[in-house]
Structure 1
């Protein structure tokens, strides 16, 4: 499948399945474990503004709200309008008035324009924390999305990436299942986008779950590095 066709197929699939995504995502048996590890690894404080890049239906919002409180702000960015519809419903259902949702393609958006949109919506133009959970491996090229996350966060911000690879050790027996699940979701299991955190950030923290299938990296932007 050619690149343009593959991207169009992924977009259409996420649009069609957005209302059912939470039920089909294997969040509770598998992927929620990585999400918890990442958010626990971040030094979030009450009142922080957090950028959730590729926020999908807002599965991160609850755990983030528990950390930043209603004085904080959560900025969710996703290219799928239908996924954002579900994220908005989640925020409204829980009364989270501190959630800002922006429709944008993280690989092509102009960071300055998105920063202005964040400000106009009542937030800050830059976030103190940025995270991407199971989203960078869906993006091509994901390095552009990482660059935009970098630009939309404060100097010395904390950045976190959670994504997938083939399981290791005894769990390697589950590799065909992991590969099939990623293919079904449109993710590149060989992307390893957490390498950007290892390369660009200081104070690196690492964690993993589900036999190494889920990889977490958290780091801090070095002072003075743009």
Structure 2
């Protein structure tokens, strides 16, 4: 998904539901030291691990914010980002295995879009039931999602397909992992929430 976002050096990217910062090394490779990574997660423990990772690597361009993506105030989050040295709206945003954990995930998606600039690139990576020959693995996939608290039937990438242009798709592990990346249209061109 990070490749599909086509990030460039110096850009700011938002990682919604960043957890321990597992995407940060790949994002750093793309945006470089002059770019910014904004990680938002509701878990203080996960953000503490992400902060340790950034400190160990010497990444002083990482901004971490504790907030529930379904209930945050985008204006307040933008203000926090600018106070920390970032720009109010990000050039790109992604969410990895996170929306299916959130209820209602649609609110988190709306907030993610509100925290990005017009023409920002957006990406969603999440899970569904395996398809085709891999459908025999559906019971295992359901158990794994249930144990992790994810809704395997949420299909949050459908919101990206609805709300973005230039949508690109990919899948892996027998269709279990679904990837979507697209471009946020200008505010005047869309009325979806």
TM-score (norm 1): 0.82
Q: 1:103 aligns with which of 66, 72, 79?
A: 66
Helix, strand or coil at the partner of 2:45 = helix
Matches within 5 A, 1:1-226: 38-223=1-186, 224-225=188-189
Q: What is the CA-CA distance between 1:225 and the residue it aligns to? A: 3.6
Structure 1 ranges of 4+ moved more than 6 A: none
Three-state SS of the structure 2 residue aligned to 1:76 is strand
Aligned residue number for residue 10 of structure 1: none
- Relative to the length of structure 2, the TM-score reads 0.96
Deviations along 1:19-78, one digit per CA (max 9) or x if unpaired, are xxxxxxxxxxxxxxxxxxx11111100001000000000000000000110110000000
Aligned length: 189
Q: Which moved more, 1:54-63 or 1:167-176?
A: 167-176
Structure 2 residues without counterparts, runs of 5 or longer: none
